[in-house]
Structure 1
Amino acid sequence: MIFKIIFLAASLVTSSISYQFQNKAIGTLYRWKQIDFDFPTPQHREQAIQNGEFNQINVIPLGVERWKNRVFVSTPRWKKGIPATLSALPVAAQEESPLLAPFPNWDWHNAGNCTGFTSVFRMSIDHCGIMWALDSGQVEAFETPRQLCPPTLYAINLETDTVVGRFPIPSEFVLQNSLITNIIVDSRDAECRDLHVYIADAWRFGLIVFRMSDAAFWRFSHYTFYPEPLLSNYTLHGLNYQWSDGLFGMSLGQFYRGDRPLYYHSMSSSLEFVVKTSVIRDPSRVNNAVGEFKLLGESRGPKGQVSASAVDRNGVMFFNLISLDSIGCWDTRDEYKNSNLNIVAHNNVTMIFPNDLRIDHEVPQIVWIITNRLPMYQFNLIDPNDYNYRVMYMDPVSAVQNTVCQLA
């Protein structure tokens, strides 16, 4: 039996909203046909259009995070004409398609100024209110890629909206054609002093670790970070394309006896893996930890590609099924097998390519999702008259009711 969500999704293609979707606490906070920004004046906006700094059709939201009363969205500079790469929006929505407010302010968004932001991919916020933003340093990746600055990790205090740390990744850990794509923060103490950041290199198949106490970096390589050849061929709403993305999604499990697992997968893969964080937090293990990276369980099947994933306080993992317009779940206390995986949300209109997924620090927690039709964007197939981009939210407790992920 190939992962029961395949059957579920196939049975729902005649309806844009599935039965399960209608009965889950999931909704849309914001949606856009095209993204626009809160320029200082209309004249600034017009000037940006005239000089090529703003080309609206080229702007795509990628990463999402939430802290208190704000949601943060990244807009990487994958094509020309993207004036800002990280923005903030209120959680209390006033309109469905708001202008993005560059964060912390416009001064940080001069591409090529390596003291500011070049192209932010994704963000991860620790429980002390520091946003760790991953800047690739590269522009125009979907046109003629240019590496303007080193890939850099930024620390931003969300209580003061100030950048409190800037950590370029040393060149020995960034390989030729590396694509530094994803980030997750692992903080162990109340003051967030015992903090590590895990960074995925999807194109050169590596895991980069940052230790905040001394600003040290190191890199692991492992065969489980590679894509599966047959899972590198995708078909989404009639569009066939090939991606060979390796290590991408990462999520942290619950603490047990002073340790916690890092679950991870390649995007072009149907397999989930796990490693103890005590292993990857130790730089002396870089060259002697091959056996520590383990297959978690069964394959998710031929359309089991997953982008982002996250684990809530109850130990339930949520993951984006990018080829199925769906979000899945797995209770991490159970065996990773087909019968323990479920779809909790599916919609073949509003959830085309769920890309990023994060779970906030609030009580109760909320799952945040970006859907962005990324393959259509890459191949210039975005319809500017359709709603293409959404920030969605989901109650994790309600989402798993009447599924195998429901808490006993």
Structure 2
Amino acid sequence: MKVIICFIAAWMISYASTQSPNGSTIGTLYRWKQIDYQYPSPAQRQEAIDAGEFIQANVIPLGIERWKGRVFISTPRWKSGVPATLSSVPVSSQSESPELAPYPNWDWHNAVNCTGFTSIFRMSVDHCGIMWVLDSGQVEAFETPRQLCPPTLFAIDLETDTVVAKYPIPSEFVLQNSLITNLIVDSRDARCRDLHVYIADAWRFGLIVFRDSDAAFWRFSHYSFYPEPLLSNYTLHGLNYQWSDGLFGMSLGKYHLGDRPLYYHSMSGSLEFTVATSVIRDPSRVDNAVSEFTLLGESRGGDGQVSAAAVDRNGVMFFNLISRDAIGCWDTRNPYTNDNLAIVAQNNRTMIFPNDLRMDHEVPQLAWVITNRLPFYQFNLIDPLDYNYRVIYFDPAEVVEKTVCKQYI
């Protein structure tokens, strides 16, 4: 009951809410002009600033997850002066721009010799309350890139706030210039024993699979993981830039008859693909599964680049249309055609570059989105007087009303 009350309180203080095309509310839980941290004291914060350990303009929120009364946010160390790379904020904060509390504590962000966190990109929470965290091991990617530690998968117990496991990705699966940037957890039984994690390498176009039962890794390669050349040129609010990111967004379909599909796409692309998870969960298929990775349907068009995607409990996929300041939907029971895609949220002020998107495990289920104006951050064009970063949420069942994504049972 306490968690429910906290969430209702947060809902009532939602900032700058907008409307979906069907009139549903898209809530902005938090928004920031610049990110700040919860230091032990004002003096320690100032010491960090004076030492160049905290440069506020260099901090950007990237990944998001929600578990019960907290939202978890990653802040990768893409530029110098990022003091902590994973934090939490309560769902019930009374501030519209709350300070981030380094998670699970400051010690994990000040550790040396790869004993703590280096630069976390994204997280994925399984239904047993373990948050799987992807640490790139690289710092200052937008300045002078340095690979300080191997890319690593961490497991954190959210009930005890304890890091319970650490799995460096073996070097044979990390190629030169790999950008291991996204992950999704596939947990099926009630106790999360049959658990796999799927990890995307956006720059060397690979899918890495981790099996929890024996901590084994393996890697698939496929031409569908590559970017589309013409979709690697972007224009967003007058800014033109080029990215050639391949495999990035992944989402899991409904479990049926012992299997479920993995849907995936390149960031710089307009096409959606699919593969049965029974294929990628079998390491013996690494070299003989080319025909199993298939095109799902039609192109989303010239501005159809998508970052993250997620499928809700009703089987509806939601996806971030980063060149349209929008979130789209698709009922996975229908063919993947443009006639079956719809826009559920769009705003050219509050939704500039929706980057990450996750479905929580609550009842009722909610979707959570980070918008962060990433291209403007990359080129040092962020206006510190404007609200640049937002945590957005919506009810997936509500926003599909009166759209082609509505589930009719």
Give the TM interval when normalised to the shorter protein: over 0.9
Q: Deviations over 1:22-48 (max 9, x none)?
A: 712311000000000001111111111
The reply on whether 1:99 has 2:114 as its aligned counterpart is no
1:76-115 aligned within 5 A: 76-110=76-110, 112-115=112-115
- What SS is found at the alignment partner of 2:156? strand
Q: Which amino acid aligns with 1:357?
A: L
Q: Match of 2:276?
A: 276
Change (3 A) 1:19 1:65: closer
Q: Deviations over 1:90-123 (max 9, x none)?
A: 1113110010000000000026531110000000
Q: CA deviation at 1:20?
A: 3.4
Q: Match of 2:121?
A: 121
Q: How many Å separate the matches in 2 of 1:69 and 1:205?
A: 36
Q: Which amino acid aligns with 2:117?
A: F
Q: Deviations over 1:127-147 (max 9, x none)?
A: 000000000000000001000
Q: How many Å separate the matches in 2 of 1:64 and 1:392?
A: 10
Q: Match of 1:214?
A: 214
CA contact (8 A) 2:132 2:153 kept: yes
Q: Match of 2:37?
A: 37
Q: Which amino acid aligns with 2:162?
A: T
Q: Which amino acid aligns with 2:263?
A: Y
Q: Match of 1:368?
A: 368
Q: Which amino acid aligns with 2:208?
A: I
Q: Match of 1:11?
A: none
Aligned-residue identity in percent = 78
Q: Deviations over 1:168-213 (max 9, x none)?
A: 0000000000000001000111111110000000000000000000
Q: Match of 2:378?
A: 378
Moved over 4 A (4+): 16-19
The reply on whether 1:405 has 2:408 as its aligned counterpart is no
Q: Which amino acid aligns with 1:230?
A: L
CA contact (8 A) 2:22 2:402 kept: no
Q: CA deviation at 1:260?
A: 0.1
CA contact (8 A) 1:65 1:73 kept: yes
Change (3 A) 1:329 1:335: same
- What SS is found at the alignment partner of 1:109? helix
1:320-359 aligned within 5 A: 320-359=320-359
Q: TM-score, normalization: structure 2?
A: 0.95
Q: How many Å separate the matches in 2 of 1:116 and 1:276?
A: 35
Q: TM-score, normalization: structure 1?
A: 0.95
Number of positions where the alignment pairs a residue of Structure 1 with one of Structure 2: 393
CA contact (8 A) 1:64 1:74 kept: yes
1:231-250 aligned within 5 A: 231-250=231-250
CA contact (8 A) 1:110 1:118 kept: no
Q: Match of 2:28?
A: 28
Q: Which amino acid aligns with 1:175?
A: L
Q: Match of 1:3?
A: none
Q: How many Å separate the matches in 1 of 2:157 and 2:168?
A: 18
CA contact (8 A) 1:139 1:148 kept: yes
Q: How many Å separate the matches in 2 of 1:237 and 1:111?
A: 39
Q: How many Å separate the matches in 2 of 1:112 and 1:56?
A: 22
Q: Match of 1:52?
A: 52
Unaligned runs of 5+ in 1: 1-15
Q: Match of 1:62?
A: 62
Q: How many Å separate the matches in 2 of 1:392 and 1:274?
A: 27
Q: How many Å separate the matches in 1 of 2:21 and 2:404?
A: 16
- What SS is found at the alignment partner of 2:71? strand
Q: Which has the higher contact order (CA 8 A, sep 6+)?
A: 1
- What SS is found at the alignment partner of 2:110? coil
